[in-house]
Amino acid sequence: MKIKVNSLSNGIHNFALRKNVGEYDLEEPFVGEIDMAARVDKSNGQIIFDCSFEVMARLQCDRCLEYYDEKLTGEFRIIYMRDEVSEEDEKNDIYQLMPETVYVDLTKDFFDYVKLALPMKNLCSEDCKGLCPSCGANLNYETCSCETEVVNPVWEPLLKLKK
Ligand SMILES: [Zn+2]
Ligand SMILES: [Zn+2]
């Protein structure tokens, strides 16, 4: 998402962009379209970009291994200042705006934050019953005749390998 800033007047401006994830070079697990929005607040000394996004991801459940779609959303703020900024500032998404800057490209920032929005743990639903450790049956859809015992989450990665 590129925003032309050199001719932007002071004040609030809103930008929105919808792209197909493929067209936008966002790799798996993202699918469909990504909606990006930026509220831009420009003043003499700085430009503040308040950004938000919405994108679908196709994730694989850690318990039952089924694929499911989850909507991911997020927000972040990027600031460009006329003043010189430190390395520490850049870590906090504060950058220097050079006098010759025409565009500010937020694409990489969107990529970074979209990736951060991916969950640490993938569950198709909070109460997913997972797979039977003995026969591998998906217990969300079927019951099996194995002796039922609660699976210790520690073994879940092994069950995955088994499958
Ligand atoms: Zn599941
Ligand atoms: Zn079973």
The pLDDT tens digits for 124-162 are 999 999 999 999 999 999 999 887 556 666 666 776 776
Banded pLDDT at 109 (limits 50, 70, 90): very high
Question: Which residue range is the domain that position 133 belongs to?
Answer: 129-163
Please classify residue 36 by burial: count the beta carbons closer than 10 Å to its beta carbon, then call 0-12 exposed, 13-18 middle and 19+ buried.
buried
Q: Within this chain, do residues 109 and 146 fall inside the same structural domain, yes or no?
A: no
In a domain, 124, yes or no: no
79 C-alpha to center of ligand 1: Å?
Answer: 40
Ligand number, closest to the Cα atom of 135: 2
Instruction: Name the 3-class secondary structure at 23.
Output: coil
Distance between CA atoms of residues 137 and 152, nearest Å: 17
Do 91 and 162 fall within a single domain? no
When divided into structural domains, the chain yields a total of 2
The per-residue pLDDT for 150 is 60
For ligand 1, the distance from its centroid to the CA atom of residue 140, given in whole angstroms, is 8
Same-domain pairing of 103 and 148: no
